[in-house]
Amino acid sequence: MKHQDLLRETYIEINLDRIEHNIRAIREMCGPSTNIGAVVKADAYGHGAVALAPVLMENGADLLCVATLSEGIELKQHFPNYPVLLMGLTRNEYFDDVLHYHLIQTIDTFEQAAALSQSAVKHKQTAHIHIKIDTGFHRLGFLVNEESIDQIEAISHLPNIVIDGIFTHLVLLDNKTNEEQFQLFLSVKETLDNRNIHIPCWHIADSIAGVDYPQYRMDGIRAGAILYGLKGFHKGELELRQAISFKSRINHITHIRAGEGVSYDFTWRAEKDTQIATLPFGYADGYPRNMHGKGWVTLHGKRVPIVGVICMDQCMVDLYEVPEACVGDEVIIYGDGSANTMSIQEAALLAETNKNDIVSRLTRRPPRVYTRKGEMVKVSHFFL
């Protein structure tokens, strides 16, 4: 496999050895009795869900979790025997697709469950579901009250419906709020248990809670950012390795004189004679446009500033500190923080957002290069 297979100079590199290390570390942390839902929504946070799924399933993940029906179908087309949970809601008219691909559907109203049951009966299939509970996040889910309990009980008696799990999401404001939500969730469990409705998998913990609050792991955790080596936790210990890097190459160099401007509106002008390198990536590749004036890349081990407004497909850097640079030289846009590279955490701080936003906004335009032991093992092109 050669770099010519990339078809462009800008690409995203995924270290599969690091993904494997991370999922194994999560499995060791949780122990054998806790289910791990590997969250691969948003194309596995920009890493490529289809390419990562086998690594995750072979090294400790019990199911894959996505947000949308289309994400679930993509995975099922490649891995029909892997269990896939749709954590978002699906409109009733698409329930035939949910059943056709044997997806596990999240439900948060009796009406949805009844519609799915009707479709399942029609197709002579069993629909597997997880029920969402709203313990305070106020995004999705049954509110915690007697009416909701009655509806969940009614769902449990619907034909061709099996409740595999029930879950909620922590706000993660502070310990007090977390515990209030947890106790509210437990109250739902106790009430359903008293009605002889026993749901096998209860889960409340995401990546952060899964590490910081072992008492909230229950029957399973939903591991998202930690799969990819992105740390959002603060209290617990888990040795992770960032798996993603974003790279490009110089494709043009121009000499400019002091006072000359670069890019739209000349928001940056050279203070002295210098060289400007054009790099073939921009905000259409998922690089934050608001990095204008503060972003940088690593070239020959040095931090080189991005200058001028970032374009859709290109951006420019000032080579004053690296005059020896040539067309074709590699630049590292995001690295793991070593060798003077910008980590995902640093990028998030500069772009005034969080790590998940930085990686999940990476579009499918740059090819993904997957490596093992430093060697390219797969190149994935979305458009080919």
Supply the residues annotated as catalytic.
41, 264
Q: What is the 3-state secondary structure (H, E, C) of 201-265?
A: EEEEECHHHHHHCHHHCCCEEEECHHHHCCCCCCCCCCCCCCCEEEEEECCEEEEECCCCEECHH
Query: What are the Cα distances from residue 254, in Å, to 55, 275, 277, 278, 279?
Result: 44, 6, 7, 8, 12
Alpha-carbon torsion, ordered 283, 289, 292, 298, to 10 deg: -50
Q: 115 in helix, strand or coil?
A: helix
Rounded CA separation 322/341 (Å): 15
- Beta carbons within 8 Å of 245's beta carbon, 6+ residues apart: 12, 13, 15, 332, 334, 335, 336, 341
The b-or-e profile of 275-307 (16+ CB within 10 A means b, else e) is: bbbbbbbbbebbbbeebbeebbbbbeeeebbbb
> Residues 135, 145: contact at Cβ < 8 Å?
no
- Beta carbons within 8 Å of 383's beta carbon, 6+ residues apart: 364, 365
Query: What are the Cα distances from residue 47, in Å, to 131, 162, 270, 325, 333?
Result: 28, 32, 37, 30, 15
> Residues 363, 370: contact at Cβ < 8 Å?
no
Rounded CA separation 155/163 (Å): 8
